[in-house]
Amino acid sequence: MEDIEINVIVNGRTFKRRVEPRLLLTDFIRHGIGLTGTHVGCENGVCGACTVLLDGLATRACCTLAVQADGRRIETVESLGRLNNLAPLQRAFWEMHGLQCGYCTPGMLMLMTELLRENPNPDRDTIRARLNDNICRCTGYEDIVNSVERAVELMRTETAGR
Amino acid sequence: MKPPVFDYERPPTLRAALEALSRHGSKAKLLAGGHSLIPMLNLRLIAPARLIDVSRLTELRYIVEEYGQMRIGALTTHNTIFRSPIVAANNPIITEAYAHVANHSIRNHGTIGGNLCHNDPAFEMPLIVMLTGATMVARSTRSTRTIAAERFFKAPFATDLSADEMLTEIRIPRLPAGHGYAFLEISQRYGDRALVAAGCLLTLRYGTCRDVRIGIRNAVHNVFRLPTAEARLEGKPLSLAVIDAAAEAAATEVTPAGDLHADEAYRRDLAATLTRRVLRMACTRAGHPLDG
């Protein structure tokens, strides 16, 4: 078994690292790069807590090897906003109580980021269908759906304000 | 958990991938979408010595319609097929079944070839290629051969492929215009594994059922067509009575195993109910709505 050199673009910055082939993308992001916003839940593809965007597509980082991300573009929750400058989607989750313990939230935010890019005006059923991907054990999902609907409003206002 | 140790290579072409596979054979696993393989590694269910990453072989990502059939490259992702207007126009049962395949994030990366080769008894696509009469193309450095769907699936989690062979293409015959089709599945929550899934294809000529194909997933030991249930309809004038007869036949013809999620009796019951429902839907879509 030989370590392999990879170049991965994470949130716009290129990271060159030597990794074991068996290193999961979750662990590469968390330990290799030190971005701990991406959470590890079930580690077998069921819960979606580790969802990141890989070349723009919602991806379970626990079902992806770091070597598979070589030369590709990763976006994690850290790319969205900062505490004093939240992205509209994050602000909406805050306002509408779209989280309780927060463990699933980074995955939810990245999953919905992909949805809102492909469809900036999803109806409630579309949001609910896409939320099927990820598990939340606190909210009962209603507040998450409300948050995404609120994000649509916020983003529309923001675009109109420009 | 974390995967066990393995070697990794990413051959740049199909030819190089086949050469690697011929060198390492059963010690290696092909990595396509990875969404079955990597969980199995994480759970330490398997420990291959080497992964051969074929996920970037764009030469095996295509959907082409020609000469009365669709050819789908084995590395085409689920979402590409799910969203393909060619697929929806030619074989709408595929699009209908895809609504039940895993979830969106997994469909972003999972491939049709990986799905078929994994042959999990709850997976939908093996049933679909069976029903549509598809042919698999398998390549190795020594040969290219075609395998009929009914010979491809050997047992749960096993296929007819040799250790040095790779599934490269799925050929699905175009179905006649106006054919009836339906796919349904019951799972505990939407997107979960199927407790039982059912699909059917048929043609109605002057009210008579022709070319009836009924298949069940996760309630038969292997694959998946139900000849006795089909015979209850084939060549018969369509009526609710023959549909009920086919559903009854399905319940006795399936050979379900009981597990934590559904016992044997419940799976038989689901097989009958789903058979009745898919037949009614298919007949309605073929232009003969049934009352009652």
What are B130-150's pLDDT values in tens digits? 999 999 999 999 999 999 999
What is the CATH number for A125?
1.10.150.120
Q: Express each pLDDT in A124-153 by its tens digit.
A: 999 999 999 999 999 999 999 999 999 999
pTM of the model: 0.95
pLDDT at A13 over 90: yes
Pick from A22, A27, A59: CB nearest B5: A22
Query: Which residue in B6, B35, B190 is closest to A21 by CB distance?
Result: B6
Choose the closest CB to A68 out of B39, B55, B103.
B55
| pLDDT number for residue A52 | 98
What number of C-beta contacts closer than 8 Å exist between A and B?
A: 84
Contact B42 A44 (CB under 8 A): yes
Q: Verify that A63 and A103 share a domain, yes or no.
A: no
- Together in a domain, A104 and A74: no
Query: What residues of chain A lie within 8 A of the CB of B108, using their CB?
Result: 57-59
DSSP string covering chain B: --PPP-EEE--SSHHHHHHHHHHHGGGEEEESS-TTHHHHHHTTS---SEEEE-TT-GGG--EEEETTEEEEETT-BHHHHHT-HHHHHH-HHHHHHHTTSS-HHHHHH-BHHHHHHH--TT-SHHHHHHHTT-EEEEE-SS-EEEEEHHHHEEETTEES--TT-EEEEEEEEPPPTT-EEEEEEE-SSTTSPPSEEEEEEEEEETTEEEEEEEEEESSSSS--B-HHHHHHHTTSBP-HHHHHHHHHHHHHH--PPP-SS--HHHHHHHHHHHHHHHHHHHHHHTT-----
Confidence of residue A71 (pLDDT cuts 50, 70, 90): very high
* Minimal-distance CA residue of chain A relative to B48: A22
pLDDT at B47: 97
Last residue of a domain, one of A79, A105, A137: A79
| Beta-carbon separation of B8 and A67 below 8 A | yes
- pLDDT digits 0-9 by tens, A73-125: 999 999 999 989 999 999 999 999 999 999 999 999 999 999 999 999 999 99
Q: Which tens digits make up the pLDDT trace of B64-93?
A: 999 989 999 999 999 999 999 999 999 999
Q: Which CATH number characterizes residue A28's domain? A: 3.10.20.30
Judge: B38–A63 Cβ closer than 8 Å, yes or no.
yes
Nearest by CB to residue B39, choosing from A1, A59, A63, is: A63
Of the three residues A45, A79, A113, the one that is the final residue of a domain is: A79
Same domain, A124 and A60: no
Tell if the CB–CB gap between B105 and A48 is shorter than 8 Å. Answer: yes
Average pLDDT value for chain A: 96
**pLDDT confidence band for B223 (50 / 70 / 90):** low
pLDDT band at B42 (very low <50, low <70, confident <90, very high): very high
- Domain span at A136: 88-161
Chain B: which residues have CB within 8 Å of chain A? 1-8, 10, 31, 34-35, 38-39, 41-43, 51, 53, 55, 103-106, 108-109, 190-191
A30 contacts chain B (CB < 8 A): no
| pLDDT value, residue A122 | 98
How many structural domains compose chain A? 2
* Structural domains of chain B, ranges and CATH numbers in brackets: 7-53 (3.30.43.10), 58-173 (3.30.465.10), 180-285 (3.30.390.50)
